[in-house]
Amino acid sequence: MIEVKRKERETSESLIRRFGRRVQQSGVLVRARKVRFRGEEKSKREVREGAMYREKVRKVVDRLKKMGKFDEENFRNVKKKLIKK
């Protein structure tokens, strides 16, 4: 816990400034933000499914590029078809 005591003849603004500096140096806010915004870890199955999906998309994109038919619209359609499966 961070504790700052007022020095003799110290203004309240400088006390607050000193406290803020101490908080930043201690890293309390950084740790709090890490905990607050940390997402849940994916299960092994979810990680594998994501990898398989990316691999399928990569194969289809490579095939479309080879045929010279790759553009944004085709790419979106491919992703939609893969998601439905």
pLDDT per position as a tens digit, 41-69: 899 999 999 999 999 989 988 988 898 88
Q: Give the single-character DSSP code of 58.
A: H
Q: Give the single-character DSSP code of 69.
A: -
Q: In this predicted structure, what is the pLDDT of residue 85?
A: 59
Q: Tokens standing for 63? A: 């095939």
Same domain assignment for residues 6 and 25: yes
Q: Does pTM surpass 0.75?
A: no
Q: What would the mean pLDDT of 5-23 be, rounded to a whole number?
A: 94
pLDDT of residue 18 exceeding 80, the answer is yes
Cβ neighbors of 82 (< 8 A, separation 6 or more) are 53, 56, 57, 60
Same domain assignment for residues 51 and 78: yes
Structural domain count of the chain = 2
Same domain assignment for residues 3 and 33: yes
Question: Which structural domain range is residue 71 located in?
Answer: 44-84
